[in-house]
Amino acid sequence: MQTQFGKKQNERRDFLKMTGISAAGTLLGATTLNVPYVHAAESNTLKIALVGCGGRGGGALVNALETEGPKKLVAMADIFPRKITGLLRAITESYGNSIDVPSDRQFSGFDGYRKAIDAVGSGGVVLLGTPPVFRPMEFEYAVERGVHVFMEKSFGVDAPGVRRVLKAGKVADAKNLKVVTGLMSRHKVSLQHAVEQIHSGIIGDVTTCWAYRMHPPFGLQPRLENESLVSHHIRNFNNFTWVSGSPMLDWLIHNLDVCCWAKNAYPVSAQGHWSRQFRAEKDQLRDLYAPEYTFPDGTRLFAQGRYIQGAWHCFQATIHGTTGCAVIGEGVHQPVIFKGHNPVSDNLIWTYTGAPFRHEFQAEHDTLFDCIRKDKTHNETERSCMSAMVGILGRMAAESGQVVSWEDAFNSTQELVPNIEQLTLDGPAPVEPDENGDYLFPMPGETAVF
């Protein structure tokens, strides 16, 4: 197996930290939108609210402010008020003309999302950049209020949450709301062309897919003095399953999505395993997730998420067909397709040679704002929820040690955080450590997942 082709693209959550606000214009490159802006509504100033002001939300905000046409950030919300003020300081110099967020439209606390969404009102836009556990209630409220949505992945941390998002997505359709999600690989032009080639039969029938996300371990920020456990978990949301849904949903989801896109199918079942061999931090993060999925035709999708220092790094999706293979997906700068199953340069039969295109992070926001201004139908909720369920299915199978069907996973009533609307910073955490500060882990063969 070859390592990835091309350089790894920056994660949205690291956008501000890794590139700096001033780099936004040069990073984004040329646009993919070729249709001239002629619709009368394009002169309207679109009101924007940002919910979740960390790196993930901040990157989305920069992308939104880089779109064509007049727009204005008018409200911000975050559980932690310092995140709001810190982000405002970071972006004001570059985007001050598009920012109007006085103190009375800066909302902290768990209900801040409602106030921010109300501030833009019907026809406005909300960017949801909070951890995945909050996505169902935020998206549901935005749709209720008639607000267009960009929502970061993932789309819930359990099946009941995903079903809630799916239901709200159908209401969004009925209200003609535009919805774009953070599965940005779908907006990468070179990848779109690569998947078209696969669907056209360039590698024959797809027989096996591999989704990789393997890199060094993720750190744990120490708990602050007098900090509540809920606050500690949310600040370290990648490290706690109840907040992030696990790396299956927060990290591997991109290439799981790409593999299902290339296969043009979703799994019917999964089995797999997980490990925590090296990690010593007091959290719920694993060293490894490795589920194996079965598609309706009996072919397989294998996924590997590994977070171990010094181990082989790989960040890509590999697709094998009856006559060739493709190296594509998140982490692959330039998708490539080969004859046969040995991905070496002598076997190369296709690579993208079209015009330069805008970075996929920017392209997804271009799509959202373009569809709003031109009133074009666009809603990515259903396919995004399907990909989230692929991650949940894999997590269920790995943690239980059982073969889990798609139907059983999708219909599961298990909630990681029952009554999420009642969660408070100072209340009990959904998961508590033992007297040694250690967290209970699922035991394959013993843990029930339904």
Q: What is the CATH number of domain 12-185+360-382?
A: 3.40.50.720
Distance CA 353, CA 399 (A): 43
Main-chain dihedrals φ then ψ at residue 168, nearest 5 degrees = -65, -35
Number of residues assigned to the chain: 450
For residues 272 and 402, the answer to whether their CB atoms sit within 8 Å is no
Is it true that 12-185+360-382 and 193-355+388-422 share their CATH fold? no
Q: Is pLDDT above 90 for 110?
A: yes
Sorted by sequence, the CB contacts under 8 Å of residue 359 that are 6+ apart come out as 9, 27, 28, 29
Sorted by sequence, the CB contacts under 8 Å of residue 446 that are 6+ apart come out as none
pLDDT score of 6: 35
For residue 43, give Cα distances in angstroms to 39, 70, 151, 178, 207.
8, 7, 25, 18, 49
For residues 208 and 299, the answer to whether their CB atoms sit within 8 Å is yes
Element (DSSP H or E) covering residue 212: strand 206-214
DSSP assignment letter at 187? G
> Topology of domain 193-355+388-422, per CATH?
Dihydrodipicolinate Reductase; domain 2 (3.30.360)
* pLDDT confidence tier of residue 392, bands split at 50, 70 and 90: very high
Q: Where are the domains of the chain?
A: 12-185+360-382, 193-355+388-422
- For 234-271, the pLDDT digits (tens) are 999 999 999 999 999 999 999 999 999 999 999 999 99
pLDDT score of 356: 87
> CA angle 249-253-255, nearest 5°?
160
Distance CA 306, CA 217 (A): 8
- For 363-389, the pLDDT digits (tens) are 999 999 999 999 999 999 999 999 999
* pLDDT confidence tier of residue 4, bands split at 50, 70 and 90: very low
Percent of the chain exceeding pLDDT 70 equals 90
* pLDDT confidence tier of residue 115, bands split at 50, 70 and 90: very high
Distance CA 433, CA 431 (A): 7
Q: Is pLDDT above 90 for 22?
A: no
Element (DSSP H or E) covering residue 224: none
Distance CA 277, CA 288 (A): 9
Long-range contacts of 92-95, Cβ-Cβ distance < 8 Å, separation of 24 or more:
93/21, 94/21, 94/22, 94/24, 95/21, 95/62, 95/65
Element (DSSP H or E) covering residue 63: helix 55-65
pLDDT score of 450: 76
Distance CA 162, CA 346 (A): 44
Distance CA 31, CA 111 (A): 36
Peptide bond just before 43 cis, omega within 30 deg = no
> CA angle 45-51-57, nearest 5°?
90
pLDDT score of 448: 86
For residue 216, give Cα distances in angstroms to 205, 311, 313, 390.
34, 8, 8, 24
pLDDT score of 449: 78
pLDDT score of 43: 66
Count of other CB atoms within 10 angstroms of residue 122:
11
- For 397-420, the pLDDT digits (tens) are 999 999 999 999 999 999 999 999
Mean pLDDT of the chain: 91
Q: Where is pLDDT greater, at 116 or 31?
A: 116
For the chain, the farthest-separated pair of C-alpha atoms sits apart, in whole angstroms, at 64
* pLDDT confidence tier of residue 10, bands split at 50, 70 and 90: very low
Q: Where is pLDDT greater, at 377 or 32?
A: 377
For residues 214 and 307, the answer to whether their CB atoms sit within 8 Å is yes
pLDDT score of 335: 97
- For 34-75, the pLDDT digits (tens) are 333 333 256 699 999 999 999 999 999 999 999 999 999 999
**In Å, how far from its chain's centre is CA 276?**
24
Element (DSSP H or E) covering residue 73: strand 71-78
Instruction: State the residue for tokens 């094998």.
Output: 320
